Structure 1
Amino acid sequence: MAVKRFKPWFKRAEEEEDGGGDMTALKSLALNNVPVKMGQTLCICSRGSITIDNKKYYFVQKLDEGGFSYVDLVEGAKDGRFYALKKILCHDREGRQEAQTEMEMHQIFNHPNILSIVAHTFVDRGGKTEAWLLLPYIGKGSLWSVLEKLRDKGSLMSEKQILQIFRGICSGLKAMHEKGYAHRDLKPTNVLLDEDDRPLLMDLGSMNRARIEVRGTREAMTIQDWAAQRCTISYRAPELFNVESHCIIDERTDIWSLGCVLYCMMMLEGPYDMVFQKGDSVALAVQNPVTIPQSCSYSGSLKMLLSSIMMSNPQERPNIHWVLDQVQDLQSCSPNTQTNMV
């Protein structure tokens, strides 16, 4: 079986900021490029195998590779199903703790719009530790990969489809916020879509407690540095660029990112993607109200929702319950203004 060239889907924000992966946040999740389907018989000779929780899985092919983690497509020896095996390199104790946190975040949530975890373990290989996360294989790929295809065809996503997908994203985010957590790195490449367009929030490695009280300049700088490493720059909330010495950072950072995702679904690129690509200051750009192009052909109600979400001042930003209520209202009355589908 020919192995295609796959695009990264899990590189961290620090790679984007140091120039090593300028386009990482804008690349598609490449799982949908795998030339196999669930349940399809594969003929691969001499496949390597791994065992997790006393279950054997056969290596199929590599899906992705980045600076600190890589992903393989594997097939269950007994069930014949395909899985994505994410392997995180743990260089030190802190790295191991971060991987442990990601595993725990997956286990906390049992929600149809949050990617589940099938199994996990730590493996020592050549004196180094790897965290293995066995995840469901979602063949269609990421929201970003779907938007890329639409852009290539010169099409747009219908308003009906936008609302359907966006509602699922909001539902997953609501489950996180209700348990007191924030995703902190919500973006189109971190949203998978199944064959029914059900969104699944993934890459929970940046998640932490939703409410963080900042007490002093040192704590502010610590959080600011953390955000620079873990929160993708063009989807990062304004309050994370210059953290005040005495403030509270809460789950409304996700609401800002959610607005960026909605904008991307409407315009096929994030509101600050071009700012970042040009090398201009995203930190400065996010201080101004988001501009919706006049060419945007979606309903006034959807545009108003977008503007309401993307408020630079977090105190003026709504919570996820309000956003979800608005989306549900729009679904009940919004016309399907665009009919071009994927």
Structure 2
Amino acid sequence: MGQTLCICSRGSITIDNKRYYFIQKLDEGGFSYVDLVEGVQDGRFYALKRILCHDREGRQEAQTEVEMHRLFSHPNILGLAGHTFIERGGKSEAWILLPYVQKGSLWSVLEKLRDKGSFMPERRILKVLQGICSGLKAMHDRGYAHRDLKPTNVLLEVDDRPLLMDLGSMNRSRMEVKGTREAMTVQDWAAQRCTISYRAPELFNVESHCVIDDRTDIWSLGCVLYSMMFLEGPYDMVFQKGDSVALAVQNPVTIPQPCRSVSPLASQLVVTLQSITLSAFKASRLECIDSK
């Protein structure tokens, strides 16, 4: 939706004949910026995500992100308030208007807990986990996978209701890889779009004949659960030390002991979530070897 956008001299923008005041910059990445804006008509705050599209492929990726937001109307998936594309000097900019969540990301909550030397209560962890699972189920039921699930891509409402965001890496949940060229294409795509310390094992070394499915999200879910329990991902330190995450993810995850009081059930849940996709990855490798 949205074909018109203007940047007015008094620090405001207009999208679809609705005016928004610029408040402040919230964040910026390599090719995107996020600003806090306020709707003139409704007085509500929004997050305006601006994506710089340097080529046709970049524009298509931004369009896919918009379409994913529009596809889902779910209490655990961030909705879409509006969008438009503008052309500047032969390049496109995607402007995506999203609801503003003041509490911020799950990662920012975990950082505050770590700074205070405290942990997230187990009951709270399970509540957030249930919401994330609900959002993922909605995606998987429609035949899509998130592909970049991590604490920074989960927003938390004031009541701890999680919202899955950053849908730009989503694609069809089942990908059949046929041949070396396709395998390298998927592997290169994953290297760019799937955060390394939350990336499933099958995306590091994609086999020439295999199937990638939504179990990659289940692996990432296990990493997110681990981060809620221990305030860091299971492979964050591996990456920070410069060691090989690709090798580390081929081994069972270890639960820090002693670190905090964690029930055996919660610890086993982390192991189970990651073993689902790790077992599938190892089985896929065996099938590829047998077929050669």
Question: In the alignment, residue 55 of structure 2 is paired with which amino acid?
Answer: D
Greater RCO, 1 or 2 (C-alpha within 8 Å, sep 6+) = 1
Partner in structure 2 of residue 222 of structure 1: 185
Q: Residue 47 of structure 1 contacts residue 60 of structure 1 at CA under 8 Å; is this kept in 2?
A: no
Cα deviation digits, residues 216-238 of structure 1 (max 9, x gap): 11100100000000000000000
Q: Report how far residue 67 of structure 1 moved.
A: 1.4
Partner in structure 2 of residue 208 of structure 1: 171
The whole-number CA distance in structure 1 between the counterparts of 2:228 and 2:254 is 15
Question: In the alignment, residue 185 of structure 1 is paired with which amino acid?
Answer: D
Q: Name which of 257, 261, 283 aligns with 2:224.
A: 261
Q: Does 1:315 align with 2:277?
A: no
The 1:79–1:53 alpha-carbon spacing in structure 2 relative to 1, beyond 3 Å, is: same
The 1:147–1:72 alpha-carbon spacing in structure 2 relative to 1, beyond 3 Å, is: same
Residues 145-294 of structure 1 aligned to structure 2 (within 5 Å): 145-294=108-257
Q: Residue 140 of structure 1 contacts residue 194 of structure 1 at CA under 8 Å; is this kept in 2?
A: yes
Q: Residue 113 of structure 2 contacts residue 119 of structure 2 at CA under 8 Å; is this kept in 1?
A: yes
The whole-number CA distance in structure 2 between the counterparts of 1:316 and 1:165 is 27
Q: Residue 239 of structure 1 contacts residue 314 of structure 1 at CA under 8 Å; is this kept in 2?
A: no
SS in 2 for 1:219: helix
Q: Residue 68 of structure 1 contacts residue 88 of structure 1 at CA under 8 Å; is this kept in 2?
A: yes
SS in 1 for 2:233: coil
Question: In the alignment, residue 310 of structure 1 is paired with which amino acid?
Answer: Q
Partner in structure 2 of residue 106 of structure 1: 69
Q: Report how far residue 62 of structure 1 moved.
A: 1.0
Q: Does 1:71 align with 2:37?
A: no
Partner in structure 2 of residue 334 of structure 1: none
TM-score (norm 2): 0.91
Q: Percent identity?
A: 78
Q: Report how far residue 257 of structure 1 moved.
A: 0.2
The whole-number CA distance in structure 2 between the counterparts of 1:141 and 1:184 is 21
Cα deviation digits, residues 132-169 of structure 1 (max 9, x gap): 10000000000000000000000000010000001000
Cα deviation digits, residues 305-332 of structure 1 (max 9, x gap): 1111111525289xxxxxxxxxxxxxxx
Question: In the alignment, residue 75 of structure 1 is paired with which amino acid?
Answer: E
SS in 1 for 2:80: coil
The whole-number CA distance in structure 1 between the counterparts of 2:47 and 2:225 is 27
The whole-number CA distance in structure 2 between the counterparts of 1:306 and 1:64 is 31
Cα deviation digits, residues 182-221 of structure 1 (max 9, x gap): 0000000000001010000000000000000000111001
Q: Residue 252 of structure 1 contacts residue 314 of structure 1 at CA under 8 Å; is this kept in 2?
A: no
The whole-number CA distance in structure 2 between the counterparts of 1:90 and 1:222 is 21
The whole-number CA distance in structure 1 between the counterparts of 2:199 and 2:146 is 11
The whole-number CA distance in structure 2 between the counterparts of 1:314 and 1:249 is 13
Q: Report how far residue 251 of structure 1 moved.
A: 0.1
The whole-number CA distance in structure 1 between the counterparts of 2:10 and 2:197 is 40
Q: Name which of 255, 261, 268 aligns with 1:297.
A: 261
Q: Residue 236 of structure 1 contacts residue 253 of structure 1 at CA under 8 Å; is this kept in 2?
A: yes
Q: Residue 148 of structure 2 contacts residue 194 of structure 2 at CA under 8 Å; is this kept in 1?
A: yes
Q: Residue 202 of structure 2 contacts residue 281 of structure 2 at CA under 8 Å; is this kept in 1?
A: no
The whole-number CA distance in structure 2 between the counterparts of 1:124 and 1:198 is 37
The whole-number CA distance in structure 1 between the counterparts of 2:108 and 2:153 is 11
The whole-number CA distance in structure 2 between the counterparts of 1:54 and 1:126 is 24
Partner in structure 2 of residue 81 of structure 1: 44
Give the paired residue count: 272
Q: Report how far residue 126 of structure 1 moved.
A: 3.9
TM-score (norm 1): 0.78
The whole-number CA distance in structure 2 between the counterparts of 1:100 and 1:74 is 22
Partner in structure 1 of residue 24 of structure 2: 61
Query: Mean alpha-carbon deviation: is it higher for 71-80 or for 247-256?
Result: 71-80
Q: Report how far residue 127 of structure 1 moved.
A: 3.6
